[in-house]
Structure formats: structure tokens, C-alpha cells
Chain A
Amino acid sequence: MSITPPEQKVWFNEPVEKTEVIWVIIALAWALIMFAMMPLWHLKGTQNMSNEAYRIQPDVYQARVDAFVEKFKVGEEGHAKTPVVRPPAGSDVYMLARLWEWYPVLELEKGKSYRLHLSSLDWQHGFSVQPANINLQVHPGIDEVVTITPTDSGDFGIICNEYCGIGHHTMLGKIRVVAGK
């Protein structure tokens, strides 16, 4: 029994029954298929994690975001009068996380690519674009660059999904995707 010592003193010398051998082979094959899927998706798939990130001081990041907002601001939105920014397609765009705000509101064009920068000024935050359901972790001190191409138009909420203190659930930002001309 499983609660008594095995019959054979050296358990490794036991022969193995056929059902188990078949199952081990099937399971191993499935394991290898699953393993292969991840590098394969890097080659063939179109949703992959970026490997581009830089160390950055929070104040440096904030200065870049401020310059970006000043350059491309087209309006204000929401209770907090968050600036709305409409950067040109293909450019570097910035999203800043801090307690408890996503800054600024981005207006992007459907089907166009942008180099999206993400960083936090204080604690960790979670960049969760809904309902597109893209979820990325945002760290203080790291400038993460993801190339994104929105494929649907409309208003998207940015939920903070990394717990960041008592105001966490009020931390909601916005990305607007407009159809191209």
C-alpha cells in the first residue's frame, strides 16, 4: 500500500505496466507541444510581450510625459480634467501611472501602430485595457515599451488591476480609438 514500504526494496527496479507507459508518452508529447507553442507564437503570432524596457528615474519619466502632453494635447476630459492627447501614428506615446490616476487620455487611430511607454511614479500598477483585455504590469523605475496596434475603435477603460492602496478602485483611465480616414 501507499502507506507501507514498497514490496521491492529498490523501487526503481520495478517494471512498469503498459497503461502507465502509454499515458506517460501521451502526456510528455502534450507537454512538448505546449512548450513549442510559446516560441512559435513569437515567430508567427501577433500578440507577444515586448522585451524592450529601460531603467528610468520617475522624475525623468514625468518630464517626458509632460513634454508629450504639451505637444499633442487636444482637449480635457473627465472629473479630473485629464488632458486628451492625440499623437501621430507610429510615434512614441506615453502613459503614466500614479496614485490614483492614469495620465493622460490617449486618442489613437485604429489599425495604426504606436510605441507605448508605460511607467509608474510611485507604486506598482496594473495596466488593464478593457474590454480588449490586455493586462500589463507597470513598475516604478522601469520604462516599458510595447508596440501596440488597436484593432477595434471605441472608448476603452484602463483599469488599474494591481492593488495600490485605498484609492485603487478609483484609478481608471481611458484610451479612445478612432477609425482612420
Chain B
Amino acid sequence: MVAKPVFRTCGFTGLKIHDEAEKLIKINAVTAIVVLAVGGLFGLLVALTRWPTVHLLPADLFYLALTAHGIDILIVWCIFFEVALMYFASSILLQTRIATPKMGWVSYALMVLGAAITNWKVLEGNSSVMMTSYVPMQADPLFYVGLILFAVGALIACFIFLGTLVVAKAEKTYEGSIPLVTFGALVACIIAIYTIASGAIILIPTFLWSIGLISHIDPLMYKVVWWGMGHSSQQINVAAHIAVWYAIAAILFGAKPLSEKVSRCAYLTYIFFLQIASAHHLLVEPGLSSAYKIFNTSYGMYLAVLGSMIHGLTVPGCIEAAQRRKGFNNGMFEWLRKAPWGNPVFSGMFLSLILFGFLGGISGVTMGVEQINIMIHNTIYVPGHFHATVAAGTTLAFMAITYFLVPVLFRRELVLPGLAKLQPYLFGLGMGVFSLFMMGAGTLGVSRRHWDMAFSDAPHAFSHAPAAFLMMGIVGVAAVIAVIGGALFVLVIVGSVLFGKPVVHAPAAAAPAPSPVASYGNAEHVAVPGTFALALLFLTMFVLYYFVNWKYLASTWIMS
């Protein structure tokens, strides 16, 4: 029958760690990082091909590498890591045993099998259909089978997470409400279930179509439902990496949320509104009404954007409050200047926050305007935007928390600490520049998913502005810098897991005792003027950029 769960006590945090949960977290996180390395390599090949003077791969291999890069990073890497995070946020933060650990291994096996099958089919060369696999373009049937198996595995992991919450509640391992980070993971889990359901609704019929059992899949319907998976899967990332931001603020600074109520309500807007963003991808589609597009692209009435803007204040706000309690009270920004910028857990987290908000957030909302999308749809602005969100935002946040998890779960010290210190800056700034100049090239009309911006084999002559070529060159250089940053991460983490010195005592970076940074709503509350100034700066840039784009739109051809 069921063996009695075995726990150990963490030397860092004093948390009780269930050994089965620990094994599952480790294997999912390690697999995620292996996939990140593979997917990142494909990304490098793509970037070196789009760098006009390098133009590395021939066309067929370029489209193959791009398909593999999209699937491996946007889906496989993120979801594997999020499974690890869900197990961490439930079993470890709630101090309980993980529910049905055997099913955890089934889930893991299905996800590995699915990812392997899809990658195998893509590498065979007959499924270069991009991550989106828009019908009527058809991939090998097993391409869809792999994705479906992966999704089933991820769905099992979601239910293990929910089951663990139930176990913790039943066994009374905590009092009151679940912690904010677990709450964030729960939001991610709910969005994940919705995402996987959308994926099943569209990928199963598409698979049946690919083996000839269904005669026709409507391309427009496919896109509406597919993006219910495609966009929502990125909203899992948002919910998860914001939970990571809060977790790191708590771990490093002992920070409490300014107000649990505000942060949690912001999360709730995600559950209610984020999923309808499928429409972001359908704004210049024929056959859908403007009313549908306007309501859905704006998440109702930008209420999920409101949620993100709230997190944008409360995450740095809780750090500022904690720092001010510790005496970093001089001026507006001493709390930030004296933050541990040499610790990759912090620098990764804070760069992720800034880049996600200023680059990814502003560009995402602006390009999601029904009319402004006319200037942006399918240009390289789009990958510019989502590298700012998924690479500089999500991936960097996940890297940051990995630096914390290695000593805690693997009980190894980091090897090459000097490189670890440098890594978030290389990756974050490389990705930031990369994203920014892709957006620039996109506003000059450079297409995404395109092998030859010089159109040398085309029947007519057309050339982009010289500035577009220059920007794509800068994109190439920045990509190389970011990839070096990514490779350093893999090197440091894999090196530490394999060869790191075992941790014997709690090092200096151990979590401080929770210091009360806020007694909610009363005069004891620490003011956060620095964060508020940053938030106003953000809003100013947002408003300016938003209206500049309207002005730019007004200068193009008249259409209705």
C-alpha cells in the first residue's frame, strides 16, 4: 500500500520537503533546462539566418529550425518548468506530501514522449509547419500526436497540483488561505487547464484530418480555437513568472505583499479575462466582426492589463517596503541601489520585471489595438514583442529562481559564481536589445517567419529600407549575446548539479526571517515613493508610445 511519506528539513529555509515531490521537481526542472538548451540552439540558428550578412541556413532548414525553436521554447521549456513550479508551490510551500507521486511520473513520461515525437517529426523535415501549424498546411500525423500526448501529461500535472492543495487542506498543514505564490500557481494551473482544453478541441480533429478521417478543417475556426491554446499558454507563463517574482521578493528580502487583497484580486482578473486574448491573433482576419475583435483583444476592457499594471506596482513595492524597513531609507531609490545586484536570483528577477513591463507589456498592449495591428500583424515586431515577454520576462525569471533552487533542492553550491553573476545581465540585456530592434524592423515592414528579406528569388524587385537591414544586423548581434547568456545559464546550472560542492551549512544567502513590512492599511505601512515614481515613468512611456502609434497609423493608406 501507500508508503509513509518521507520528509527532510531544508537547511536554508526550514521548510519540510517531501522526497517524492523533490524528485519530481528536480526531474521536471532539469528536463526543462535541457529543452531550453536545445531550443535555444535552434533559436541561434534562426537568428544567424535572419542576420542579413550571415544568412546561415538554407531555406528548408531555416523553416525547420524555426518550427523546432517555437515548439521547444514556447511550449516545452515553459511547461516543464511550470510543472516543477506547481509542485514546489503546492507540496513545499504548503508543507505537505505531494498527491499521487506515481502519476507525477506518468505525467512526466507522457510529456517527454510527446515532446520527443513532435521534435522527431519536425527534424525529419516533413513537418515544418511552424508552431502554429495553420491548416490547410499539414504536418505528419505524429506531429499532432506528440503535442496531444504532451498536453495530456501536462493536464495530469495540473490535477496533481490541485490534488496536493486538497491534501494540504485535508491534513491541515496550513491555516487560513494558501500563500500568494501558491495562489499565483493556482491561477496558472486554472489557465493551463483551459489552455489544454482548447488544444484538445482543435488538435484532436486536426490529427484526425491528417490521417484522412475528417475531410475539412475550417482555417478561421482553427485559428480561433488554436489561439485559445496558443495565447493562453503564454498567459500561464505570465501567471507563473509573477508568482516567481513574489517568491523571490519573499525569499531574498522577507517581503510581504503590500496588500494580499490587491495582489490576489489582480491575479483574479487573469482568470476572468486573460483567456479571451485569442483575438490578439485575429485582428486583421476576414470574417470576424470589429465588435468581437475589440471586446476580446482588450481582455474585456483591458481588465487583465489592469491586473498586470497592479503587479507592476506591488512586486517592486513590496521589495521597497522591505528594504526601507531594513533602513535603506535615503532618497527615492536607495532601496534599489543597495539591492543585491550581484546575486543572480535578484538581478534576474528585477531585470525580468523591468523588461517584461517596459518592453513586452507596452508593445503587447499597443499591438493588440484592433486598428494598430494593421501595421504590425505578422511583421517581425510580433516576435520582438514576445521575446520581451517570454524570453526576457518568463525565461529570465525562471533562470533567477533556478539559482535559488539548486542549493535548496539539489543541495549543491553554484560552480562558476562569477559567471552566474554576469549571466542575467548578458541574457537580459541581449534579449532586451534583440526585442527592441526586432520591433524597430517590424515597423519598417520586415516580415516574421521569412527566409530572405532581400527577395532575391522573387518575380518582382522590392527592397526594404537600408535601416531595416541595419536593424536586423543588430538583432543578430544581440541574439548572439543573449545566446551566450543562455549558454552560461545552462553551463552553471548543469555544472552545479553534476559537480557542485554539496551544501553543508546554510550559506549567507539564506532567507531572512519574515519582517513585517506592512500592517495592512494602517499608519504602520511603509510608503513606497520610489516604486510609485517608477510606475508613473512606466505609465508616461506607455501613453506616449501608444499615441505615437496612432499617429503613425493615421499616416498610412485610407482603408475601411
Chain A residues with CB under 8 Å of chain B are 1-17, 19-20, 22-24, 26-28, 30-32, 34-35, 37-39, 41-42, 45-51, 53, 77-80, 82, 101, 105, 113, 118, 122-124, 126, 128-144, 146-152, 155, 157, 159-166, 168-174
Question: How many positions in chain B have a CB within 8 Å of any CB in the partner chain?
Answer: 108
Question: Which B-chain residue is minimally distant from A131 (CB atoms)?
Answer: B445
The residues of A that contact B429 with a CB separation of less than 8 Å are none
Find out whether the CB atom of B520 lies under 8 angstroms from the CB atom of A17.
yes
B341 within 8 A of A: no
Taking a contact as CB atoms under 8 Å apart, the answer to whether A27 and B310 are in contact is yes
B176 touches A48 (CB 8 A): no
Nearest A-chain residue to B315, judged by Cβ: A2
Q: Do B220 and A39 have beta carbons less than 8 Å apart?
A: no
Q: Which of B105-113, B159-167, B376-384 is near enough to bind chain A?
A: B376-384
Nearest CB of chain B from residue A132's CB, rounded to whole Å: 5
Cα–Cα, bound, A159→B458 (Å):
10
Interface residue B283 (Cβ < 8 Å from any Cβ of A): yes
8 smallest A-B Cβ distances: which pairs? A15-B521, A157-B462, A144-B286, A31-B302, A172-B458, A9-B176, A161-B447, A2-B246
- Say how far B274's CB is from chain A's closest CB, in angstroms: 14
The distance in angstroms between the C-alpha atoms of A173 and B459, with both chains bound, is 8
8 chain-A/chain-B pairs, Cβ below 8 angstroms: A12-B264, A17-B258, A30-B539, A45-B371, A124-B134, A135-B374, A155-B462, A166-B63
Q: Using Cβ atoms and an 8 Å threshold, which residues of chain B touch A144?
A: 286-287
The answer on a CB contact under 8 Å between A17 and B525 is yes
Give the interface of B toward A (CB within 8 A): 59-60, 63, 93, 128, 130, 134, 136-137, 174-181, 218-220, 246-247, 249-251, 254-264, 283-287, 289-290, 293-294, 298, 301-303, 305-306, 309-310, 313-314, 317-318, 365, 369-371, 373-379, 443-445, 447-452, 455, 457-460, 462, 464-465, 514, 518, 520-522, 525, 527-528, 531-532, 535, 539, 542-543, 546, 550, 553-554, 556-560
- Output the nearest chain B residue to A28 by Cβ-Cβ distance: B306
Contacts of A143 in B (CB 8 A): 286
When distances are taken between beta carbons in the complex, the residues of chain B under 8 Å from A35 are: 294, 298, 301-302
Most buried by A among B284, B375, B448: B284
Indicate which residue in B175, B246, B258, B449 contacts A19 across the interface (CB closer than 8 Å).
B258
Q: Are A31 and B303 in contact (CB under 8 A)?
A: yes
Using known A-B contacts A19-B532, A49-B371, A166-B59, determine if residue A130 contacts B286 with beta carbons closer than 8 Å: no
Contact call B460/A77, Cβ cutoff below 8 A: yes
**Bound-state Cα–Cα, A139 to B285, Å:** 8
Which residues of B sit under 8 angstroms from A28, Cβ to Cβ?
306
